[in-house]
Structure 1
Amino acid sequence: MADLFDSYELAGSWDETFASADSPRPSYESILTALQPLGAAELQPRVDALARTFMNRGVTFAYDGQERPFPTDIVPRVIDADEWDLIDRGVQQRVRTLEAFLADVYGPGQVLADGIVPREVVLTSNHFHRESFGIEPPNGVRIHVSGIDLIRDTEGTFRVLEDNVRIPSGVSYVIENRHALTQVLPEAFASSRVRPVSDYANRLHAALRAAAPYGVDDPTIVVLTPGVHNSAYFEHALLARQMGVELVEGRDLFCAGNRVFMPTTAGERPVHVIYRRVDDEYLDPVQFMPGSVLGCLGLVNAARAGHVVLANAIGNGVADDKLIYSYVPDLIRYYTGEEPILPNVETYRLGDPDAREYVLDRLDQLVLKPVDGSGGKGLVIGPQADERTLDVLRRKVIADPRAWIAQPVISMSTVPTFVGDAFQPRHVDLRPFAVNDGEKVWVLPGGLTRVALGEGQLVVNSSRGGGSKDTWVLAAGEERTVSVDLGDLSEAAAEHPTLPELSDGDVEALRQAQGSWGQAQGSWGQARDSWVQANGTFDSMDDEFAPRDFGPAGSSSAQQQQQQ
């Protein structure tokens, strides 16, 4: 391999890039070939340019009290078509199961009556909200957007680490990582058939439209953000802009008659779908925290009346509970009659006395997680913890065993990451994002690969100093990739929820139109060259071709000004 990888040593985990020393996996051959001619001296300026790209575009993340460019490594994580097919099917299965579970626990409760999940496990979850009873989504969707966190164990098996069906974040980094990498490492894309990620906002917008209340054909959709000080505000703004909808805060909305309105210069405008990025507890001061100013009074009652849809639905957090997570394989069998496509990580339920005793005897060998934690908060990795931390943890587990789960330490897979002036193995996970429109669960071909940047570290969360990688899913056969030509229009139109169906004749007409446009461009180029030869410069034409107000037919702008 190139000198860049001469010092690369496999870390004992499953390495995504190398099967063994000097033996790259087939899916990585193209990217490694593109990197081979580059030495550290040439690669470093590109790494610096990558960071500048994020800073210039405002892609930052609050860490340790400071805003910094979101750290993205220059080498992508690559997933071949067969591996992605497994992930795609597994995520779809998981989302469908969790949808059925949420409809059940906030409805008939049959899963509890049948004893698949103990009733007390659901009722004692901090994110089980009785306020959700009576709210029936028009198209049956509660999980409009989900992020299912996966890891790869030492045997190369993808496993689900946790579910995120409340307010999963990070998709903006998927989009921006791809944009930035095409700028600083374009040669790598030339030889790889990478599936695009640019359709996410269109898919999300279509799913939100499909979720509109009954009888609303042209819904008003907004993105509800906690405000500019939220660490994910960039994502809120990006998605609102790409979907072409309003970005609002709680103070921009009000409820009247169990309906939600947004004041505009043209008057009060009804709001039908709210893609909310505000936690349940802050969403409605009437139902949850009385002092919250991040939400809007009356949102829950408006949703219960069927006049507005909250995406994602309130109460979804019960499915994120890490104790509920341990029951998901059983839920998959219960609701679908299928075996789980993506297995869980082995999990100990500490409410069971035998399991609790086993775990307490091995705290220094296991990972313990609070069941309602997120962002890696509260997680204790036994082998890396000191005695005082383990003593405190022991007392917490004994006092409230329902609040904790335990799992074995899994050495997550590694990917070469540029550190200093060479590549070193760093542990990664993967968060595929799925969008549910009620007809199909669509999984974004890529997802967010998060990287634990410290040597030997296993915590990848951005809030704990982690970084990310662009995630490439390689296309199979003739599947559409980053480079799309007119030959792909029929397939693209069939997949895209807002494009009309194109016949072969339509595609041929477009090809002819493209040819005519090319001829017109050639004619314009010849005319331009002739003009420059005659006049010496082209700059003086700028004012002549600048936009202007021509006024009503038969009058000039000057005449209008005189009339005024």
Structure 2
Amino acid sequence: MSGFDEMLVSDKDVRAPYSRFHSWYAQQVPQTLAQKATEAESFFRRTGITFNVYGEQEAAERLIPFDIVPRIISGSEWGRLAEGIEQRVKALNAFLDDIYHDQEIVRAGVVPSRLIENNEAFLPQMVGFRPPGGVYTHIIGVDIVRTAENQFYVLEDNARTPSGVSYMIENRETMMQMFPELFAQNRVRPVETYPGHLRRSLSAVAPSACSGSPRVAILTPGIHNSAYYEHAFLADQMGVELVEGSDLKLIDGRIAMRTTEGYLPIDVLYRRVDDAYLDPLAFRPDSMLGVPGIMDVYRSGGITIANAPGTGIADDKAIYSYMPAIVEFYTGRPAILENVPTFRCAEADSLAHVLDNLHELVVKEVHGSGGYGMLVGPAASKAEREAFAAKLRERPGNYIAQPTLALSTVPILTEAGLAPRHVDLRPFVLVSDIVKIIPGGLTRVALKQGSLVVNSSQGGGTKDTWVLED
């Protein structure tokens, strides 16, 4: 499936953002570039930049492949994207505040009540409570694709615990070490400032109980979590403590962490633990990952939890299908960034259409992530489609479907030279008293020729993403 080529207009004509890179590449020795690619892999392996794969007995810890050809976006293109992203994240926070309070969007008939009431990600414990600063989702990853028509679309929102920002930063550091001359020739906006922006953003939403400089910590499920490297990386880069549930306890109405100086209260907890495991007194009683009583402390103003519990409903792919209407409802303007057209299988007409056209659609679970639990119709066998059709008929409300998009392509380095591969983009957004969008994000690339699956867990790789100063 072909797509919009982000570097080439034709075999001879190069798009403006790639002009300096293309001229530089023409002067390089292929063997030298291949050696650089090997050096990059060695660097990532030495640094420990890996992710864990669940459900596999062998090779559970993998290196995410890194391609040394940058993805380059012009400043003007990025400006349009950033405007749409900011509008969307403001609407997401307004939506979360509304559904946990007056539910005006439901009463207006914009979003069906069943999608809220029957949603496992909707937490009754959050009803009537407003987090410090009125911010629900402090760190957001917005997955964006570019189609054959050179149109940007939002593929999905990641409002719970978006991952991948450490790879964005490490990719940039690696590129700057290996190709300093490229950065001298191109005015590339920085991404390495993210940890400082993150700490500032988290500190800005400290709770009322905070006095003085806010104490921030990151809560991790532990070393076996697939994103543990990122948890440790961000704690180190921000200069804050990385803690597990066993390091924390409730003392005098505050959540305190164990230190060499005794237990000290935490003001802001950036949690990378799912809602269900956050507080065994409020959610799963068998959880060993969270902190007993933290929800009571949270609701009493003793701590800020980022992202807020209950934000996962904004990740729901059925809710996603209403996002253009949600954006317009809260901002008063049509959505700048459009959704990918989406069929809600819970609706009889949509289900019938999806069942008749499984061979050309992508079907996803409404709570799915990481490329799991989905069917890529054009790549599936007849038997796989029939088996999936049975799942759809049994639980139609658990799925949405979308057309198979011709994702844009950018070049990767192969043994034969540059070759186009399909990509998406995950910009990272920080929300506090201001909205801060990091210029660039994580570009994920489908390394197999013709593949549209970019997830690292499914064989995809990553690239450094350059946003140029115009």
TM-score using structure 1 length? 0.81
Partner of 1:233: 228
Partner of 2:79: 85
Q: Distance in 2 between matches of 1:27 and 1:264?
A: 49
Q: How far did 1:445 drift?
A: 0.4
Q: Distance in 1 between matches of 2:260 and 2:176?
A: 40
Q: Which one of the candidate residues 201, 204, 212 is aligned to 1:210?
A: 204
Partner of 1:243: 238
Q: Which one of the candidate residues 290, 304, 313 is aligned to 1:295?
A: 290
Q: Distance in 2 between matches of 1:403 and 1:108?
A: 26
How many pairs were matched up? 465
Q: Which one of the candidate residues 41, 53, 57 is aligned to 2:43?
A: 53
Q: Aligned to 1:24, what secondary structure does the other structure show?
A: coil
1:479-518 correspondence runs (5 A): none
One-letter identity of the residue aligned with 1:332: V
Q: How far did 1:420 drift?
A: 2.9
Partner of 1:459: 453
Q: Aligned to 1:247, what secondary structure does the other structure show?
A: strand
After TM superposition, the structure 1 stretch with the greater mean CA deviation from structure 2, 168-177 or 54-63, is 54-63
Partner of 2:268: 273
Q: Does 1:22 align with 2:8?
A: no
Q: Distance in 2 between matches of 1:253 and 1:134?
A: 27
Q: How far did 1:117 drift?
A: 0.2
Partner of 2:186: 192
Q: Aligned to 1:160, what secondary structure does the other structure show?
A: strand
Q: Which one of the candidate residues 337, 342, 362 is aligned to 1:367?
A: 362
Partner of 1:397: 392
Q: Does 1:223 align with 2:218?
A: yes
One-letter identity of the residue aligned with 1:44: A
Q: Distance in 2 between matches of 1:359 and 1:31?
A: 43
Contact 2:220 2:271 in 1 (8 A): yes
1:139-538 correspondence runs (5 A): 139-216=133-210, 217-438=212-433, 440-476=434-470
Q: Aligned to 2:188, what secondary structure does the other structure show?
A: coil
Q: How far did 1:461 drift?
A: 0.8
Q: Distance in 1 between matches of 2:387 and 2:168?
A: 38
Q: Distance in 2 between matches of 1:126 and 1:86?
A: 34
> RCO (CA 8 Å, sep 6+): is it higher in 1 or 2?
2
Q: 1:165 to 1:230 in 2, by over 3 A?
A: same
Q: Aligned to 2:153, what secondary structure does the other structure show?
A: strand
| Structure 1 residues 286-318: Cα deviation after superposition (integer angstroms, max 9, x where no partner) | 122211111111111111111011000010010
Q: Aligned to 1:428, what secondary structure does the other structure show?
A: strand
Q: Aligned to 2:133, what secondary structure does the other structure show?
A: coil
Q: Identity of paired residues, percent?
A: 46
| Structure 1 residues 27-79: Cα deviation after superposition (integer angstroms, max 9, x where no partner) | 00111111111132121111111111111222122356343332110100000
One-letter identity of the residue aligned with 1:58: G
Q: Aligned to 1:261, what secondary structure does the other structure show?
A: strand
Q: Does 1:38 align with 2:28?
A: yes
Q: Distance in 1 between matches of 2:6 and 2:142?
A: 19
Contact 1:135 1:306 in 2 (8 A): no
Q: Aligned to 1:18, what secondary structure does the other structure show?
A: coil
Contact 2:209 2:303 in 1 (8 A): no
Q: Distance in 1 between matches of 2:123 and 2:4?
A: 40
Q: How far did 1:104 drift?
A: 0.4
| Structure 1 residues 443-491: Cα deviation after superposition (integer angstroms, max 9, x where no partner) | 0001000001111111111111210000000013xxxxxxxxxxxxxxx
After TM superposition, the structure 1 stretch with the greater mean CA deviation from structure 2, 172-181 or 456-465, is 456-465
Q: Distance in 2 between matches of 1:441 and 1:433?
A: 11
Q: Aligned to 1:31, what secondary structure does the other structure show?
A: helix
Higher Rg: 1
Q: Distance in 1 between matches of 2:236 and 2:391?
A: 45
Partner of 1:113: 107
Contact 2:248 2:256 in 1 (8 A): yes
Partner of 2:125: 131
Q: Distance in 2 between matches of 1:353 and 1:211?
A: 44
| Structure 1 residues 331-388: Cα deviation after superposition (integer angstroms, max 9, x where no partner) | 1111011111111000011122111111111111111000000001111011111122
Contact 1:126 1:372 in 2 (8 A): no
Q: How far did 1:263 drift?
A: 2.1
| Structure 1 residues 234-293: Cα deviation after superposition (integer angstroms, max 9, x where no partner) | 111111111111000111001245421112222221111100011111111112221111
Q: Does 1:71 align with 2:99?
A: no
Q: How far did 1:215 drift?
A: 4.7
Runs (5+) with no aligned partner, structure 1: 1-10, 477-564
One-letter identity of the residue aligned with 1:51: E
Q: Distance in 2 between matches of 1:84 and 1:126?
A: 35
Partner of 1:7: none
Contact 1:55 1:68 in 2 (8 A): no
Q: How far did 1:425 drift?
A: 1.2
Q: Distance in 2 between matches of 1:95 and 1:152?
A: 19
Q: Distance in 1 between matches of 2:354 and 2:63?
A: 40
Runs (5+) with no aligned partner, structure 2: none
Contact 1:71 1:467 in 2 (8 A): yes
Q: Distance in 2 between matches of 1:188 and 1:195?
A: 13
Q: CA RMSD in A?
A: 1.3
Contact 1:166 1:312 in 2 (8 A): yes
